[in-house]
Chain A
Amino acid sequence: MSVLSKVTPVRGAPPGRSTTRQSRRPSRLNRRRDAVTGYLFVAPQVLGILTFVIVPLSLVFYYSFNEWNVLAGTFKFVGAANYRQLVSDPQFGEVILATVIFSVGLVAINIPLALLLAVMLNRQGRGIAVFRTLFFSPVVVSLVAWTLVWGFLLQDNGGINGILHAVGIQGPNWLQSGPTAMAAVIVVQIFKNVGLNMVLFLSALQGVPTELYEAARVDGATSRTVFRRITLPLISPTLLLTIIITIVGSLQVFAQIAVLTQGGPGLSTTVLVYYLFQQAFDFHHFGYGSTLAIVLFLVVLALTVLQWQMRKRWVFHEN
């Protein structure tokens, strides 16, 4: 084998300067030093995830096979008993139904509304910045304070029914019947967070190249066609992101339920997280509460993986 066959010119090397991969390869000491530096950089993140995600998650999984009576101080392995209880729990079906209604209602209204607001506010003009700020401001308001204010507004003699009464409408007692209580909780959550999705959509809309719109108009495309054929495909990665975070967020709703309805009337607004909290912290069934937490984790994981897999079918740049 000739010497030349071992020499490979390095791309971009100045002509006349002979160098080889052999000579650029870092020494074992340097490689180790680089590795240590890399590990040090990622260590805080890894430690954080280990401490606050992996270890607690593993322990919750472990607890789900045990019964832990905090007051008595007993901790007993019960095998799959908590999972069997889940199947036979007469309330679990109602809880899942309430969770599905909340999540579907939230996503079905939040995403189109956020997109509509973003499209309406994606223009220059007097007062546009004010409206953008107005719609985004609930996002930065304290969640509990926001919910408390809505609690007063939704009372039978509260602000909303006062306005309805002024225009001759007898408003319902919003939080006292199942359907209106669920609708109220969904609306409160939408108004709280629609601004965040709106900003994400606004950012995506402003990233769509204007020449595409100009070309489409020259070709005679209508506004609807432009939106369907150009805007939607180009903002589809953002659409995927907002759908994922909205679904995950909807499955984790807690404070609004705790403040507004405490899961009632009946079990009509008892969503999975609230039920989990009640079982673990109110009823002291930490084992069964952990089982519910595992179910919630698996549901969130499955939905996220499903959406991630489906992205190739409808997200631009992903197919």
Chain B
Amino acid sequence: MKPAKKLTGVALLAATALTLAGCGGATEASSTHTSAAPGSVTLRMTTWTSDATQLALFKSVADSYKKSHPEIKEITFDSLPVADYTSTLTTQIAGGNAPDMAWVLEKDAPDFVKSGALAPLTDTLKAAPDYNYADLNSETTKLWTQDNQLYAYPFSTSPLVMFANDSLLKQAGLPTSAELQSQGKWNWQDLAALGSMVKAKTDKDGIIIRDFNYSDWSNLASVWNAWGAAPWSSDGKSCTFNSPEMNTAFTYIHDGIFKQHAFPGPGTSPDFFAGDSAFTVTQISRASLLKDAKFGWNVLPLPTATKGSYSVVGQAGVGALAKGSHVQESEDFIAYLTNPSNAKQLAQFFPPPRTSLLTADTLAATNKLLSKEQIQNAVIKGIAEGQTKASHTNSAEISQKVKAALDPMWQPTADVSSVLNNVCSAIKPLLAG
């Protein structure tokens, strides 16, 4: 890093009262073998998990790697709050304190991949012993690839699924989730009606789209994809928020909230995992929250609407920062962390992108809470059919503009079509740019 940039970065941090320290050194030349002296390399990876079990697994992989790599002095995992993860990460980069490796949120993938912030991994991964690069499902790596170069390994490819509280359904005198599925009622319209009945009979909520909270609208993809809707065209240049499919999907959501009361309204915060609702859409990895559940539950694929069977996949990638102090050593560690053996260990928390690991037997061995049938129906099928959530360069600004324009939707008297037209007006300049 040039001294002038170091100075400007440090000053910016001072101005914003962020106390970050240190700075990156010179980037080492790319090579498949490090020339670093023994004990001279300290690597840092930023993550958004603070789960002690997950961090312990990462640490054990790092400890194992150190034994065969004397140049590594230490590998640390820096947990940042997920709400401000990307802001904190970019501030660290601006301040000359870029981590060596970072988890990247799916919505930020286009920005990180296209800007050159991440170092290309393909050559290092292919050269790693027993890596079996061809095992990576090409659908899962698409978002993270540019010009045939993979910039981040999608270590978590987690399908969105529907969890059901069967005890609550029984309490309301309604069929269980499995019965609903066998009766051919596993669709959004029927679930809204059921949610409405649950609310009326138990005063608990019907369906929660987890993490939406009337703010993070991208989570509604789990609903609008059922009607084949999308926020923008596949080339990302035209807004399709005002398409007929999206109008139908949002009319369903709006009616479900304000007429049927099947979804909890704005300004409330019920939690499915605390037993507050009959259904919730969330990532399969949240199954761990049901470890001590005091109610009977099930997990099923997303319900259908007009499009037929579909799935939405949420992803997270891990890459080496091009501005990191030890780029080659970081790439080598990522190759080790994601090799078939370690990917299998990570699979207990994060559904992997490796085809060889996407079997009911493999995943059932590491996911004790889920049955083989649930894994086959909800996870493996979900990843196979999965469509990643829509992403775009400049995602944060687009996200804020959509949120601001969508806010009027969350009033009982909202004109759905008019609000969706306004969303398109708000983001058109950004999509075009």
Spell out A's residues near B (CB within 8 Å).
Answer: 51-52, 55-57, 59-60, 63, 68-73, 75, 154-158, 173-177, 262-267, 278, 281-284, 286
User: 1/0 contact trace for B248-290 toward A, CB 8 Å?
Assistant: 0000000000000000011111000000000000000000000
With A63-B8, A278-B400 in contact, do A265 and B408 touch (Cβ < 8 Å)?
yes
A-B pairs, top 10 by smallest CB distance, nearest first, are: A156-B267, A56-B15, A265-B407, A71-B115, A71-B117, A72-B115, A283-B397, A281-B87, A59-B11, A70-B94
With A71-B93, A156-B265, A156-B267 in contact, do A264 and B11 touch (Cβ < 8 Å)?
no
Let me know if B400 and A176 touch, CB within 8 A.
no
- Asked if B153 CB lies within 8 Å of chain A CBs, one says no
Let me know if B117 and A72 touch, CB within 8 A.
yes
Let me know if B14 and A52 touch, CB within 8 A.
yes
Residues on A with C-beta less than 8 A from B117 are 71-73
Let me know if A175 and B403 touch, CB within 8 A.
no
In the complex, how many angstroms separate the beta carbon of B206 from the nearest chain A beta carbon? 15
- Bound CA span A267–B400, Å: 10
Residues on A with C-beta less than 8 A from B410 are 176, 265
- Bound CA span A63–B13, Å: 13
- Bound CA span A55–B403, Å: 36
Q: Using a CB-CB cutoff of 8 Å, which residues 52-100 of chain B contact chain A?
A: 86-87, 90-91, 93-94
Known contacts A71-B111, A176-B266; 6 further A-B pairs (Cβ under 8 A): A59-B11, A71-B117, A278-B400, A282-B86, A282-B396, A286-B94
In the complex, how many angstroms separate the beta carbon of B212 from the nearest chain A beta carbon? 14
With A71-B117, A72-B115, A282-B396 in contact, do A267 and B404 touch (Cβ < 8 Å)?
yes
Residues on B with C-beta less than 8 A from A286 are 12, 94
In the complex, how many angstroms separate the beta carbon of A261 from the nearest chain B beta carbon? 10
Let me know if A70 and B400 touch, CB within 8 A.
no
Interface centre among A55, A73, A286 (most CB of B within 10 A): A73
In the complex, how many angstroms separate the beta carbon of A106 from the nearest chain B beta carbon? 22
Residues on A with C-beta less than 8 A from B269 are 155
Let me know if B411 and A176 touch, CB within 8 A.
yes
Let me know if A72 and B116 touch, CB within 8 A.
yes
Residues on A with C-beta less than 8 A from B93 are 70-71
- Bound CA span A284–B90, Å: 8
Partner of A156, one of B87, B266, B322, B396: B266
Q: Using a CB-CB cutoff of 8 Å, which residues 28-64 of chain B contact chain A?
A: none
In the complex, 25 of the A-B residue pairs with CB atoms within 8 angstroms, ordered by the A residue number, are A56-B14, A57-B15, A63-B12, A70-B94, A71-B116, A71-B117, A72-B117, A73-B116, A75-B5, A75-B8, A155-B267, A156-B265, A173-B265, A176-B266, A264-B403, A264-B404, A264-B407, A265-B410, A266-B404, A266-B405, A267-B404, A281-B16, A282-B86, A282-B400, A286-B12
Let me know if A156 and B15 touch, CB within 8 A.
no
Residues on A with C-beta less than 8 A from B310 are none
Let me know if B115 and A177 touch, CB within 8 A.
no
Chain B residue at smallest Cβ distance from A268: B407
In the complex, how many angstroms separate the beta carbon of B287 from the nearest chain A beta carbon? 28
Partner of A59, one of B12, B111, B403, B404: B12
Chain A residue at smallest Cβ distance from B112: A71
Let me know if A60 and B400 touch, CB within 8 A.
no
- Asked if B355 CB lies within 8 Å of chain A CBs, one says no
- Bound CA span A71–B111, Å: 8
In the complex, how many angstroms separate the beta carbon of A201 from the nearest chain B beta carbon? 30
Interface centre among B93, B404, B411 (most CB of A within 10 A): B404
- Bound CA span A304–B176, Å: 66
With A71-B93, A262-B215 in contact, do A155 and B404 touch (Cβ < 8 Å)?
no
